[in-house]
Structure 1
Amino acid sequence: MTIIRTFIALASIREWPIWQMDVKNAFLNCELQVYMYQPPGFVSEDTSFKYTLDLVSNAHLNEANVVDTPMEVNVKLYAQAGDPLLKPPMYRKLVGSLIYFIVTRPDIAYDVHVVSQFVSNPRRLHLSAVNRILRYVRGTSIRGLFFDSTSSLDLSAYADADWASDPDTCRFTTGYCVFLGSSLISWKSKKHDIVSK
């Protein structure tokens, strides 16, 4: 996805036209000449919005109040805190959907990273954190990545670490983001395997 976002940012700056097509694997080894036009009267819709509504609906949060932040400030989630969930597959499905969602929503990447650590044994508190992320996403459903056509081609990167913030293992989490001009093209949040002293 980083390569795709880089290409989109570059195409935006250079004002190149972009065409997207989906080719199934069966056609990889044959001569392919397929042309398809949008049917008359068809209006394209923003599918990221259509995806947000489905995700919120699956969690039964259509009527829930929206929140301003994806996670409460200074909240630590512990692996064994609270009662176990009676239906863990639902938690796993929601977290998996959010992982897919962060391809275009870097603002929830860290929070999804946190809740994804508990998919093997989720608790009610963990589900509450997932529901808060979904309530935030519902209130910010029109947000996405912006690729500025007047941007420069300067590459810049930023990184940070939180030093032993995990309450269960004392491992630290690092994160980074990379910009091509003013366009965000890559980001990551990762908990390390070692304890730093």
Structure 2
Amino acid sequence: MNRESREAARELCEAGRRAVDLGLSPGASGNVSVRAGDHTLMSPTGVSLRDLDPEGLAVLDEAGEHVSGPPPSKEYPLHLAMYRRVEDARAVVHLHSPHATAASCLPAWSASSALPPVTPYLVMRVGQAPLVPYAAPGSDRLALNLSGLTGTFRAALLANHGSLVAAADPAAALDGAVELEEASRIVISLRGSEYSVLSAEDVRELTERYGTTWEL
């Protein structure tokens, strides 16, 4: 493993442990990956994100073939599909955090975003996050459902499943997942009540300032 891969592996394992410490990855759920050169390093199947070891990650080549290490998480097709959508992304985090998973069981707020723009932080730190139609975890169909969505986005909720975030590095991807979890918690808390959302003008100001995307 070269220096770039070692550093990427260290960052990935650190993000995995932080996800568990924050209560966002119960049991052995969730999976994370990072690009390093021509390879993708990924959490192995059946391993808690708390127990990730830089020397014990699955390694996939550019075609998504498993080339070394333990078997990758069954969600590797989903991660590869997200990298194809977000070409500048270097890391992908998929979590079964409780509020994002609960929000993923609700109807989408709009065709472009599962959640409404309830806080400026969701808009400026994550942007729109569409709802990916349900398919079995680990299936090629789930990856195809993600690939079939239109529009620009760096995060999504997977129907009845959890969250998915792509970013420049593992720490940033986890930060996006944390923000998505918090926005989901707020939306769940507001269910059954009247509430306000940011205006189109407010959303436009934030997306222009922070470089995110939100279609209203």
Same fold flag (TM > 0.5): no
After TM superposition, the score normalised by the length of structure 2 is 0.24
Q: Greater relative contact order: 1 or 2 (C-alpha under 8 angstroms, separation 6 or more)?
A: 1
Per the normalisation by structure 1, the TM-score is: 0.26
Higher helix share: 2
